[in-house]
């Protein structure tokens, strides 16, 4: 091979090497760009996954807290209902005992005297002067009636009409000008809400 024919060959090889170099460089750049893009995509995917996991944890915590709150509220409601039922039963059990206790107090002379004195004071405070009808048990004696009248005294210038009522076993019921002061056991226990509150308050104090 002469020098003249060798020149094109050398030029071709140099050109081929340059093309190969540029190809390698471009491939390297494309690969590097692809790797950077892939790294970015992976990072973004990881960040998105972390956000989803974090959000899922938050939602699970919120759901758990909500369930706990619901369960606590339900327990509180059930407890209140149970307490209310127990209180209502206590009141139902206590009411007849109260009436028995009041009847017992009326049968004792000293407590009956105190009872009548308290009624006399209430009559003077709450009833208009005039003719009063004093409804009482048959066992309330004439001396006790006179003592009651003396307690009323000059504070009522009307007449006292003492009337026996066999249905009345204890206490007195005073009727005056359309008004009634009922201090018999049924009358004293008529305000069931007040009586229930007093019973529960007494139990609470004990």
Q: Supply the CATH number for residue 170's domain.
A: 3.30.2320.30
The residue from 62, 89, 107 where one domain ends is: 107
Q: Do both 38 and 84 map to the same domain?
A: yes
Q: Do both 168 and 141 map to the same domain?
A: yes
Q: Do both 102 and 115 map to the same domain?
A: no
Q: Do both 3 and 91 map to the same domain?
A: yes
pTM: 0.57
pLDDT of residue 56: 80
Q: Do both 46 and 143 map to the same domain?
A: no
Name the domain count of the chain. Answer: 2
pLDDT of residue 168: 94
pLDDT of residue 10: 67
Q: Do both 83 and 144 map to the same domain?
A: no
**Residue 34 lies in domain:** 1-107
Residue burial 136-155, b: 16+ Cβ < 10 Å; e: rest = bbeebeeebbeebbebbeee
Q: Do both 49 and 81 map to the same domain?
A: yes
Q: Do both 82 and 61 map to the same domain?
A: yes
Q: Do both 129 and 79 map to the same domain?
A: no
Alpha helices in the chain (DSSP H): 3-107, 109-126, 142-152, 185-188, 192-205
pLDDT digits (tens, 9 = 90+) for 50-67: 888 788 888 888 888 888
pLDDT digits (tens, 9 = 90+) for 10-25: 676 777 677 777 777 7
The residue from 61, 82, 107 where one domain ends is: 107
Q: Are 133 and 143 in contact (CB under 8 A)?
A: no
The residue from 107, 141, 175 where one domain ends is: 107
pLDDT of residue 173: 96
Instruction: Centre a 10 Å sphere on the Cβ of residue 189 and count the other Cβ atoms it contains.
Output: 15
Q: Are 128 and 179 in contact (CB under 8 A)?
A: yes
| DSSP conformational letter for 129 | S
In angstroms, what CA-CA distances link 73 with 59, 77, 78?
21, 6, 9
pLDDT of residue 156: 66
Q: Do both 144 and 52 map to the same domain?
A: no
Q: Do both 70 and 142 map to the same domain?
A: no
pLDDT of residue 183: 94
Q: Do both 39 and 89 map to the same domain?
A: yes
pLDDT of residue 96: 85
Which stretches of the chain score pLDDT less than 70? 1-10, 12, 16, 154-157, 205-206
Q: Which contacts qualify for 194-202: CB closer than 8 Å, 24 or more apart? A: 195/91, 195/95, 195/98, 196/87, 196/91, 199/90, 199/91, 199/94, 199/98, 200/87, 200/90, 200/91
Q: Are 135 and 168 in contact (CB under 8 A)?
A: yes
């Amino acid at each position: 091979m002469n020098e003249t024919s060798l020149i094109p060959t050398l030029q071709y090889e140099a050109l081929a090497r340059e093309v190969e170099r540029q190809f390698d460089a471009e491939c390297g750049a494309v690969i590097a760009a692809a790797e950077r893009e892939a790294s970015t995509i992976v990072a973004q995917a990881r960040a998105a996954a972390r956000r989803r996991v974090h959000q899922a944890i938050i939602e699970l915590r919120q759901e758990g807290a909500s369930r706990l709150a619901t369960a606590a509220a339900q327990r509180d409601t059930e407890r209140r209902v149970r307490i209310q039922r127990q209180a209502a039963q206590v009141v139902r059990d206590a009411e007849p005992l109260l009436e028995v206790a009041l009847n017992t107090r009326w049968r004792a002379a000293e407590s009956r005297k105190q009872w009548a004195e308290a009624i006399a004071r209430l009559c003077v405070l709450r009833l208009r002067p005039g003719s009063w009808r004093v409804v009482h048990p048959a066992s309330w004696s004439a001396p006790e009636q006179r003592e009651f009248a003396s307690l009323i005294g000059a504070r009522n210038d009307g007449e006292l009409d003492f009337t026996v009522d066999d249905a009345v076993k204890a206490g007195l019921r005073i009727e005056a000008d359309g008004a009634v002061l009922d201090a018999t056991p049924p009358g004293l226990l008529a305000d069931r809400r007040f009586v229930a509150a007093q019973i529960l308050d007494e139990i609470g104090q004990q």
